[in-house]
Amino acid sequence: MKALKIIGLSFIAMISLGTHAQELDANLQFRPRYEYRNGFKSPISNGEDATSFVSQRSRLNFNFKQEKLKAKLTLQNIRSWGDVSTTATADKNGVAVFEAWAQYDFSPNWSARFGRQVISYDNQRILGEIDWIQQGQSHDAALFSFHPKNHQLDLGFAMNANAENLVAPKTPYITNYKSMQYAWYHTQIGKISSSFLVLNTGYEFEKSVGNLEVDYKQTFGTYLVFKDKKWDSNLGLYGQTGKSFNNNVSAWYAGANLGYALTDAFKATLGYEFLSGKDQDNTSLTVKSFSPIFGTNHAFNGFMDYFYVGNHQNSVGLQDAYLKLNYSLKKWQFTLTPHVFNAPNTVLDVSNEKMDSYLGTEIDFTLGYAVQKDIMVSAGYSQMFVSATLERLKNVTDAANTNNWAWVMISFNPKLFSLK
C-alpha cells in the first residue's frame, strides 16, 4: 500500500509541476470470483472429487495525457483466497505490471506506443486480452499506428529475452515467443467493416545439442462484419504456414455467425467454427492443426475450456455448431448457448479402429446484473455431455456421468480521481 501511495503522489507531482495542459485519472478494479469445478477442461474420473476456490484480481490503473503524450500504468495482484496465511509477511504473487506504456501522437493520424500493452483486435480470435483469466494477457511491444478516418493500419513488433545477457544463451527461450511482427488493417465501407491480419511469430528451440534456432509461423486472414438494424453477421477466415519446431505448418480456420434481433430485448445468433486438425493415423510430420495463437479462447468453443485453452493443441481439430440466445431486461442480461462438438479428423480407439466423430454437447448459461455504474455481478452454469470419443482424446478411461462448472463473480470498478 505504501508503494501505491508513492506512485500516486508522484503522478500528482507531475501534474502540478507541468507547464502544459495535463490530465490524470486513476481507477481501481477488485474482481473476486468463486468457481466450482467438476470436470472442467477435461472429464472428471469416477472416484475424483470436485473442487472449489475463490480467485481475485486487484488492479490499480493510472492514465496520463499531456498534449501529444499519453501513458498508462496498470499494477495488479492475482491471488487465490488462502494462498498465504493470515499472518504472512509477503504475498505469494506480489504486485505485477500488467500495462506500462507511453504513446506519442505525431499528428492526429500517426502515433507510436512502446512498452507493456494489450494487443487486441476484432473478435479476439487471434489476438486478444483474455480478460476472463484474472491475470489477463499483455505484450512487451512497439506499436506504430496510422489511423485516418475510416481506416487504420497498425504495425507491431516484439523481441523477447529472458534477461540482460552478456553472451547468447545456450538453452532455448521458452517463456514466450522469441519475436513477433504483425500488420493489421481495418476499414469501414457502409455497413461492412473488414480487417486483414498478417502475423509472424518466432519460437526458439534446440535443433541439436547446443544449436539453437528460431522457427517462424505465419498466421494471416480476414475478419468481416456486417450490421443492419436487426441483422448482423461476421466471417473469419485464417490460414497458417511456416515452420514449428522444424516441422512444416499447413492449417486453416473458418468461423461465421448470423444474428437476428427478434425484439429490442431478445436476439438469436447461429454460429459455426472449423479449426483444422490431423488424423491420428497420419504419420506425416506436417503440423495441420490450427492454433489460435494469442486469442481469447475462453470466449469460444464452450466456457468449460475443453478446447484450445491450454489444451487440444496439435490435435484432431474441431467443429463447433452453436446457437446463442441473448435476452436483456433493464439491469439484467441472460445468455443461453448450446454447443455441439465434432472432430473433423480421425480419432482412433485402443484397437486403432476409427471412432465416431461426435465429441459432445455443452450447454452454457450466464447472467449479469448491473448493481450500479461501477458494480457488476455475473454468474454462470455449464454442463458438458461427454462422448466416448472425447474421453479417448482426453485420455480419461473412467469418466463420471456428470461434468459441470459453476461460477459467481463480482466486479467493483470505482474511479478514484480525475485531475485536469
What are 187's three cell numbers? 476499414
Residues of the chain with pLDDT under 50: 1, 14-15, 17-18
289: Cβ contacts below 8 Å, ≥ 6 apart: 251, 275, 276, 277, 278, 313, 314, 315, 316, 317
Q: CA-CA distance, 175 to 31, in Å (whole number)?
A: 27
Residue 119's CB is within 10 A of a number of other CB atoms, namely 19
Dihedral over alpha carbons 34, 39, 45, 46 (to 10 degrees): 70
SS3 244: strand
pLDDT at 209: 84
pLDDT at 253: 98
409: Cβ contacts below 8 Å, ≥ 6 apart: 31, 32, 33, 34, 377, 378, 379
pLDDT at 21: 81
Q: CA-CA distance, 239 to 235, in Å (whole number)?
A: 14
- pLDDT tens, 345-400? 999 999 999 999 999 999 999 999 999 999 999 999 999 999 999 999 999 989 99
What are 241's three cell numbers? 504456414
pLDDT at 11: 52
- pLDDT tens, 26-82? 999 999 999 999 999 999 999 999 999 999 999 999 999 999 999 999 999 999 999
Q: Could you tell me the pTM of the whole model? A: 0.91
Task: Report the mean per-residue pLDDT for the chain.
Answer: 94
Residue 310's CB is within 10 A of a number of other CB atoms, namely 9
The answer to whether 218 and 226 have CB atoms below 8 angstroms apart is no
* DSSP of 324-387: EEEEEETTEEEEEEEEEEE-SS--B-TTSPBPPSEEEEEEEEEEEEEEETTEEEEEEEEEEEE-
Q: Which structural domains are found in the chain, ordered by start?
A: 24-419 (2.40.160.100)
